[in-house]
Amino acid sequence: METADLDRLNAIVSVTHLAPQQALFLEGDRADNIFNVTAGTMRLSKMMPDGRRQVTGFLIPGDFLGVAFNAIYAYTAEAITLANLCRFPRLKLEGLLDDFPALERRLLGIASNELVAAQDQMLLLGRKSAQEKIASFIVMLSRRAVRHGRPANPIDLPMTRVDIADYLGLTMETVSRTFTQLRKDGIIALPRGQVELVNMDRLEELAAS
Partner DNA sequence: CGAGCGATTGAACGCTCTCAAAGTGAGTGG
Partner DNA sequence: CCACTCACTTTGAGAGCGTTCAATCGCTCG
Helices and strands: H and E segment counts in the chain: 7, 11
Residues that bind DNA (CB under 7 A): 129-131, 160-162, 169-177, 179-180, 190, 192
- Least distance (Å) from DNA to the CB of residue 195? 10
Sheet holding 33-39, edge to edge: 14-18, 83-89, 33-39, 64-65
Is the Cβ of residue 106 or residue 183 nearer to DNA in the bound state?
Answer: 183
Smaller CB separation from DNA, 112 or 180: 180
95 near its own copies (CB under 8 A): no
Residue 90 contacts which entry, its own copies, DNA, none (Cβ below 5-8 A, type-dependent) = none
Q: Which is nearer to DNA, 65 or 80 (CB)?
A: 80
By CB under 8 A, what part of segment 109-128 binds its own copies?
109, 111-116, 118-123, 125-127
Interface with its own copies includes 130 (CB under 8 A)?
no
Handedness of CA 18, 157, 145, 59 (dihedral sign): negative
Closer by beta carbon to DNA, 34 or else 157: 157
The verdict on 71 binding its own copies (CB under 8 A) reads no
Q: Name the nearest CA neighbour of 184 among 116, 118, 131.
A: 131
On whether the CB atoms of residues 164 and 194 are closer than 8 A, the answer is no
- Angle between helical axes of 130-147 and 200-207 (0-180°, round to 10): 120
